[in-house]
Structure 1
Amino acid sequence: PPAAQGSWVSLPDERVDVDTFPILPAIISQLKARGITQFTSIQSGTFEPVLSGRDILARSRTGTGKTLAFALPIVESIGRASTGRAAPSQPLAIVLVPTRELARQVAAEFELVAKPYGLQTISVYGGAPMGPQVRDLRRGVHIVIGTPGRILDHISGGTLDLSAIKHAVLDEADEMLDMGFADDVATILESAPPAGSRQMLLFSATTPPFIQKLVRQHMVDEMQLDAIGQNDGPKTSTSVQHFAVLAPERTEHRAAVLRDVLTVHGRGAKRVIVFTETKRDCDELVTGKQLGTLSAAALHGDVQQQQRETTMRNFREGKFTVLVATDVAARGIDVSGVDLVISYHVPASTESYVHRSGRTGRAGASGSVVSLVDWTEKRRLASFDGQLNTRIRPLAEDSSTWLPRSQAESEGEGGVGGNTVPERAPLGMEKDKAKGGDGEGSKPDWGQA
């Protein structure tokens, strides 16, 4: 039975056949055509509560199918009651997402399951022409997926009326609010029916305090569903291995470490994402010679929308190997087959680390995460190691610290050494060692090397 308001209901970590759910057979056929024959814990656990109309706060590891967890029951709810085409400019469901890429991805998931019911969907986001969006909204759509800024543009322009909204969803809510969209989200929700008159669904990988505040302000008798484990803190996928290598602060030397990591540990990788803190680092890594002969492309806020879409399409199709991206541009990106994620600098928060890590190891696939960390960042990464309930190991198998021997020998002279990253098997292929492995007594030395 549902727990009392404010307490988490733990969802069992198990998969359930899609045939056992009261879903339109044509939708089940669509799912099976995509290779989806079982629902993950978050998908199966949220279906009935969302379908029943409850306000929901749900958290799960990245890569476990949160989008389908709310798309399916919303489509079923609207589809069963639908009498035909939607009213002009008055959708029945709105989904807010932090980035343009995520808007497109969520819209694609909705279209997959909405088509059998004949429901119309649209994604709206900045950087795309307003004209086609205005035309489609005025024709009438049942479900709108969009970024807060563009949603507000349509509301203020009179082309989007939220008075008929039955379902409001915040996807990647922690990232959206962390990016500074809190006021925009509040304004949008105030344009919709009040709490209790519409359903509110909040899906997130993490639930920091500002998420709890949002729940208090915009939900009524919410049900909190947990597919992570309420006492374990934010977690990454259990199929992902985590590593760190000490790198110099100086850009040219740090780039050399990155190149070594990619050369040695990216062997055989089909897709790699490198996260940078700034657009400048992103561009310099791609346009300079730091990555050697590896094919790479940049993704950040200054890249025009048409080029962003081309870049993501080419990355999915394997036309280049390394996507170098800023956090803001890459949040929510869902690309299968990402083998390796590298943080050029340690991210500012545990939540950012969780989301970066979530770009690999999706849907149970294996993956690896490597953080380049300098002396000023060690304490922050050490805190992640404790909070995530996972092991961030030194990249060198025979090292008790993050600092490779060759780098330690030359660091005092300002260099990084000739063989910064020791030769070893590609990431994801390591075997646990009886000695020097990742047992209880082998925690890396977080102090001086």
Structure 2
Amino acid sequence: MTTTTFADLGVPAPLVAVLAADGKTEAFPIQADTLPDTLSGRDVLGRGKTGSGKTIAFSLPLVARLSDGAPSRGRSSRPRGLVLAPTRELATQIAATLKPLADSAGLAITTIFGGVSQSRQVAALRAGVDIVVACPGRLDDLMKQGEISLDRIEITVLDEADHMADLGFLPVVTRIMDKTPTGGQRMLFSATLDNGVDKLVKRFLQNEAMHSVDEATSHVAAMTHHVFEVRDADAKKDLVTALASGRGRRILFTRTKHQAKRLAKQLTSSGVPAVDLHGNLSQPARDRNLAAFGSGEVRVLVATDVAARGVHVDDVELVVHVDPPAEHKAYLHRSGRTARAGSAGDVVTVMLTEQAGDVKVLLRNAAITVTPQKVTADSPAVTELVGERAERIAPADAPAASGGGRQGGAQAGGGRSGAQKSGGQRRTQAPAGESAGGGRRRRGRGNGSAGDGAGAGQRDGQQRDGQQQSGQGRRRGQGGQGQNGQGGQGRGGQSGSGSHGGRGRDAVEGGRHGTERSSAKQSPSRGGDNRRSGGQIRMGDLVNGSTSRGLGSRRARG
């Protein structure tokens, strides 16, 4: 088989040297196909599966062509290159690939995405940048604030346009693209052209060259697919633990954020250190968990579909669909985390017997042919696939996962005179453990400090006489005798326990917005502190679980 080097394709020598230093000398098919057109400035529509080398395919012409012009440092926030990506993880990965290439050409690059403070991003823009890698939402916000202008954009790249469509970003992407000069070069990469992506192509690409390395439903030849059928939820839990216990990197996919968080904790508790990746994590927590997985400190990543779109880690030997995805495109994107860049990999779909029909349709749409196997955690097929198992690690010795997302628990601050303050996060409230006195508002809305015999302060979501009241300002708590109080988040069903209490009943502190809509069993609360997360709110005074909004009460009932 003939190979093509980057030098053969006309890539400038300094960029070839950067790639060679990273062990990249031969071009992948999508790179070999697109580079002659993209280096010449032509619009390109590239269709290739995940892991096919798309990032380098557009990074090389982006840097090569912009390096011919004057750098943007010292100018206002008017970059000349723009890359749009659907998720912050993908934006971060793209920037990591682009940076050494841009550095060699003297070009400045920055990333823009939500979930973090915009102050550093604005500072970088004001310092002057040549290339911006951005997620549509935050970029749109900064454009409206006048912090960035796209009137000098020469090259625009849309990566994973199909996923941006799935996330509902196309109206924002269209608005952003309309702000770029019509004469600039545009490159669009997408696995499919459905769901409105074709409209982007027709509107913004001119005389484009289309390069399709493979069909949208194709899968990697070095990827082996398995379907394991289990009898019940307990057997599924044992099987997933066994699949996670090998020595190599593996990614486990769940459908929901809660499932990802819970499974990572379960695996760590069983001696298999794991970190989670989902939308409820703060950006620093995401970065730390990805770094732990990428460095090999932790071998198991439990993720949701959206969060894992930007995970490009080499040598992932196994992908496990803990929950079969809802449609075949998600299956292909999930599976594409393994068997990357020519490496081999295995993909396992775990299903219960009642899911057999749905999985059959899923695989048919994904053009995957595989025969389901009924297994247990100890079946030979499972043992062979897992290979040598890693030693179990006690939970206390496992690397700490970075949790505490947007709906996590409160942040504990420093104490004063024996008291402990608590600052709430965006959607959580938790009573602080030992501080006496009335409610205290700090950072989070309605975050109260409670004490022995003192009530918790509350902003939203009071439970009163069997009703939940939202939008009220309860500012003072009355002491109780002998019962522990229970603080909770109405919306997420989370709770935190303090050492204060009501008079013979539980004092309940509702979370922001207070949207607990179902009745809860009457139960005395327990002592201790559970700021991170907890069970349901325990409503000693709840009679019928009904809710009312807009009522105002300024004094807690003890």
**TM-score, structure 1 normalization:** 0.81
User: 1:336: which partner in 2?
Assistant: 314
The 1-side partners of 2:141 and 2:3 are apart by 41
- For 2:241, give the aligned amino acid: R
What amino acid sits opposite 2:374 in the alignment? Answer: L
Consecutive unaligned residues of structure 1, counting only runs of 5 or more, are: 1-12, 395-401, 407-417, 430-449
The amino acid of 2:152's aligned partner reads A
Judged with a 3 Å threshold, the aligned counterparts in structure 2 of structure 1 residues 52 and 25 are, in CA distance, closer, same or farther, namely: closer
Pick from 194, 198, 203 the counterpart of residue 212 of structure 1: 198
Residue aligning to 2:253: 275
Q: Do residues 176 (structure 1) and 176 (structure 2) align?
A: no
Shift of 1:248: 5.0
The reply to whether residue 247 of structure 1 matches residue 230 of structure 2 is yes
- CA shift, 1:112, in A, is 1.7
Instruction: Give the structure 2 partner of residue 440 of structure 1.
Output: none
Q: How many Å separate the matches in 2 of 1:428 and 1:39?
A: 32
Separation in 2, partners of 1:44, 1:338: 25
* Equivalent AA in structure 2 for residue 358 of structure 1: G
Superposed displacement of residue 365, structure 1: 0.6
In the TM superposition, residue 18 of structure 1 has moved relative to its aligned partner by 1.9
| Residues 241, 428 of structure 1: 8 Å contact kept | no
How far has the Cα of 1:207 moved from its partner?
3.1
CA distance in 2, matches of 1:428, 1:40: 30
Structure 2 counterpart of 1:80, which letter? D
The 3-state SS of whatever aligns with 1:362 is coil
SS of 2:192 mapped into structure 1: coil
Deviations, residues 50-79 of structure 1 (Å, cap 9, x unaligned):
122222111112212100100101111111
Aligned to 1:397: none
**TM alignment of 1:123-162, pairs within 5 A:** 123-162=111-150
- 2: CA distance, partners of 1:39 / 1:213: 30
Tell whether 2:88 aligns with 1:100: yes
- Residue 361 of structure 1: how far off its partner (Å): 0.6
CA distance in 2, matches of 1:366, 1:51: 31
CA distance 1:325–1:14, change in 2 (3 Å) = farther
| Residue 287 of structure 1 pairs with residue 265 of structure 2 | yes
Q: 1:331 to 1:86 in 2, by over 3 A?
A: farther
**1:374 paired residue number:** 352
Structure-1 residue corresponding to 2:239: 257
In structure 2, relative to structure 1, the CA distance for the partners of 1:14 and 1:306 (3 Å cut) is: farther
After superposition, residues 35-54 of structure 1 pair within 5 angstroms as 35-54=23-42
The answer to whether the 8 A contact 2:112-2:134 is kept is: yes
Give the 3-state SS of the residue equivalent to 1:213 in structure 2.
helix
In structure 1, the residue matched to 2:219 is 236
Separation of aligned partners in 2, 1:48 and 1:156? 36
1:6 aligned residue: none
In structure 2, what is the Cα distance between the partners aligned to 1:21 and 1:359? 28
User: Do the aligned residues in 1 keep the contact of 2:81 with 2:154 (CA within 8 Å)?
Assistant: yes
Identify the range of structure 1 (80-89 vs 343-352) with the bigger mean alpha-carbon deviation: 80-89
Counterpart CA distance in 2 for 1:159 and 1:297 is 35
Using the TM superposition, give the Cα deviation of residue 41 of structure 1 relative to its aligned residue in structure 2, in angstroms: 0.8
Q: CA deviation at 1:105?
A: 0.9
Q: CA deviation at 1:85?
A: 3.6
Give the TM-score taking structure 2 as reference length.
Answer: 0.66
Which of 384, 398, 403 is equivalent to 1:425? 384
2:411 equivalent in structure 1: none
Unaligned ranges ≥5, structure 2: 389-558
Distance 2:24 2:8 in 1: 13
- CA drift of 1:422 comes to 4.9
Q: Distance in 2 between matches of 1:363 and 1:198?
A: 31
Q: 2:364 aligns with which of 386, 407, 432?
A: 386
Moved segments of 4+, more than 6 Å: none
- Deviation at residue 96 of structure 1 after TM alignment: 0.7
CA change 1:102–1:24 in 2 (3 A) is: same
Does the CA-based 8 Å contact 1:93-1:167 persist in structure 2?
A: yes
Is residue 346 from structure 1 mapped to residue 324 from structure 2 by the alignment? yes
Aligned to 2:209: 223
CA contact (8 A) 1:94 1:144 kept: yes
Q: Give the secondary structure class of the aligned counterpart of 2:46.
A: strand
Q: What displacement does 1:121 show?
A: 0.7
CA distance in 1, matches of 2:144, 2:63: 27
The code of the aligned residue for 1:145 comes to V
SS at match of 1:20: coil
User: 8 Å contact 2:89–2:310 — kept in the other structure?
Assistant: yes
User: 2 CA distance for matches of 1:326 and 1:309?
Assistant: 15
Change (3 A) 1:171 1:15: farther
Pair 1:216–1:52, CA change in 2 (3 A): same
Q: Distance in 2 between matches of 1:52 and 1:95?
A: 18
Distance in 1 separating the partners of 2:361 and 2:205: 32
Q: Which of 151, 161, 171 is residue 163 of structure 1 equivalent to?
A: 151
Higher mean alpha-carbon deviation, 148-157 vs 385-394, is at 385-394
Equivalent-residue separation in structure 1 for 2:335 and 2:320 (angstroms): 9
Q: Distance in 2 between matches of 1:76 and 1:362?
A: 26
The residue aligned with 2:430 is none
* Alpha-carbon distance in 2 for matches of 1:421, 1:179: 40
Which of the pair is proportionally richer in helix?
1
| CA gap 1:165/1:353 in 2 versus in 1, 3 angstroms | same
**Distance apart, 1:153 and its partner CA:** 1.6
Give per-residue Cα distances to partners, 1:414-446, cap 9 Å, x unaligned: xxxx746755423699xxxxxxxxxxxxxxxxx
Label 1:186 to 1:248 Cα distance change in 2 as closer, same or farther (>3 A).
farther
| Aligned residue among 369, 374, 387 for 1:403 | 374
Within a 5 Å distance, the mapping from 1:187-206 to structure 2 comes to 187-194=175-182, 197-206=183-192
Whether the 8 Å contact between 2:112 and 2:133 is mirrored in structure 1 is yes
What root-mean-square deviation, in Å, do the aligned CA atoms of Structure 1 and Structure 2 show? 2.3
Distance 2:41 2:142 in 1: 27
- What whole-Å deviation, never above 9, does each CA across 1:22-72 have from its counterpart, x for those lacking one? 222221111100000101111111112112222211111221210010010
CA distance in 1, matches of 2:386, 2:136: 38
2:106 to 106, 118, 143: 118
What do the CA deviations read for 1:205-259 (whole angstroms, capped 9, x no partner)? Answer: 3333422222122222222111114xxx422221111111123564x44323312
Give the Cα separation in 2 of the matches to 1:132 and 1:278: 31
The structural deviation recorded for 1:202 is 0.9
Deviations 1:100-123 (A, max 9, x none): 111111011111211221011111
Higher relative contact order, chain-length normalized (CA < 8 Å, sep 6+): 1
Cα separation, 1, equivalents of 2:382 and 2:66: 56
